[in-house]
Amino acid sequence: MSIFSRKDKTDKTDETVGTEATATPVADLTGDYTIDPAHSRLGFSARHAMVTTVRGSFTDFSGSAHIDGTNPAASTVSLSIVAGSVDTGAKDRDGHLASADFFDAEQFPALTFVSTQVERDGDDWSITGDLTIKDVSKPVTIVFESAGTATDPFGNQRAGFEGSTTINRKDWGLSWNAALETGGVLVSEKIKLDFDISAVKDAVDNG
């Protein structure tokens, strides 16, 4: 979701230090937000060789959201991820994921998510939208739990959300695999997506 934070460009320290999340009425969340990549994580995990789990993330992304606490259905979310920023901690594997076998980052440089429906149940937000990978768009629903709000030392209002969902990568044409001699395949088709989001409320221009 687009729930993230703005940094004081004159200070490179973590501006969330010393802040404390506080309970905030949902209606008070209403407004426009910008994702804070420095304090957010877009992660994924997949079974490898049937016996272990490989985890990774994308390091270059941006997003925004309009939150309407009174009328959640009027809320919107958008996210853009640089495909070539995939990072699993292994350069060879990252290069393979960015290649035509998977994301084909040279031809399709961005993965995008645009919401089509937003619902709220208490502190939980269910966001359904179109996830586009390699020009293939499929609907995905992500359930986010509110992690609270805080005002950082620079006066930015921050909101945090955590969410996850599981997709089948073959639905987006990411079908590369290799058979194992012992049976099974090298990479699972099911991929778990994890979102740890910090967002900053946009300043209101009264001029």
At 177, which CATH number? 2.40.128.110
Q: 122 CB contacts (<8 Å, ≥6 apart)?
A: none
Number of domains in the chain: 1
Give the chain's mean pLDDT: 85
16 part of a folded domain: no
163 part of a folded domain: yes
9 part of a folded domain: no
207 part of a folded domain: no
pLDDT mean over 105-122: 97
Question: What pLDDT does residue 113 have?
Answer: 98
Higher confidence at residue 12 or residue 73? 73
Q: How far apart are CA 111 and CA 132, in angstroms?
A: 6
How much of the chain, in percent, has pLDDT values that exceed 70?
Answer: 80
Q: How far apart are CA 177 and CA 79, in angstroms?
A: 28
18 part of a folded domain: no
129 part of a folded domain: yes
42 part of a folded domain: yes
Residue 65: pLDDT band by 50, 70, 90 thresholds? very high
Specify whether the CB–CB gap between 83 and 55 falls below 8 A: no
Q: 165: helix, coil or strand? A: strand
Q: Which domain holds residue 110?
A: 26-201
Residue 187: pLDDT band by 50, 70, 90 thresholds? confident
Higher confidence at residue 155 or residue 8? 155
Flag whether pLDDT at 10 surpasses 90.
Answer: no
189 part of a folded domain: yes
Specify whether the CB–CB gap between 67 and 58 falls below 8 A: no
Flag whether pLDDT at 57 surpasses 90.
Answer: yes
Flag whether pLDDT at 179 surpasses 90.
Answer: no
